[in-house]
């Protein structure tokens, strides 16, 4: 197990270096940022991706930015999380969707959040601090701080403690 973890750390360092070279000023990360196997990052059109200190991505996570994605300190991600700050336009039925361009809005995720496995976060969403997003959720609306979201139900930490 130690060898596997060492391998992930080593390949993660190479991937961080590669992304810094490819995306230059569009990709910034804090201390102790770590990602596991098959992390994907795209930064297009002058977008900026900023990750705080102690951010962790588990296997097969992806960030796709055309505008901007910001993630606060201490936030952790389960496997297969997807974050998109853009979406296809589809209003004109006379044109193929792929030719209609995109709508874009930045995504912001606060500090010390836990984003569960297989979560998708869509454009324009702001997630507060200390939020837990349950596995399999699609987040298309803002989420205030200190809330647990599970399958379209928001519960405050106060409600959970009762």
Q: Which tokens hold the place of 117? A: 């496995």
Which of these is catalytic: 28, 64, 86, 88?
Answer: 88
Cβ partners under 8 Å of residue 68, min gap 6 = 47, 48, 49, 50, 85, 106, 107
Residue 21 CB neighbour total at 10 angstroms: 9
Active-site residue flag, 88: yes
- Ordered strands of the 153-156 beta sheet: 34-35, 56-57, 76-77, 114-115, 132-133, 147-150, 153-156
Write the DSSP symbol of residue 94. Answer: T
User: How many residues are recorded in the chain?
Assistant: 162
Distance CA 139, CA 99 (A): 26
Catalytic residues: 88
């Amino acid at each position: 197990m130690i060898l596997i973890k060492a391998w992930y750390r080593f390949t993660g360092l190479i991937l961080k270096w590669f992304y810094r070279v490819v995306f230059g000023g569009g990709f910034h990360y804090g201390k102790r940022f770590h990602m596991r196997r098959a992390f994907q990052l795209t930064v297009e059109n002058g977008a900026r991706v900023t990750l705080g200190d102690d951010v962790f991505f588990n296997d097969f996570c992806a960030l796709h930015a055309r505008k901007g994605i910001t993630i606060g300190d201490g936030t952790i991600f389960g496997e297969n999380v997807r974050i998109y700050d853009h979406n296809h336009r589809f209003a004109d039925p006379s044109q193929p969707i792929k030719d209609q361009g995109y709508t874009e809005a930045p995504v912001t995720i606060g500090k010390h959040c836990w984003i569960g496995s297989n979560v998708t976060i869509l454009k324009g969403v702001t997630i507060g601090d200390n939020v837990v997003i349950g596995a399999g959720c699609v987040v298309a609306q803002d989420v205030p701080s200190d809330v647990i979201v599970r399958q379209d139900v928001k519960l405050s930490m106060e409600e959970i403690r009762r």
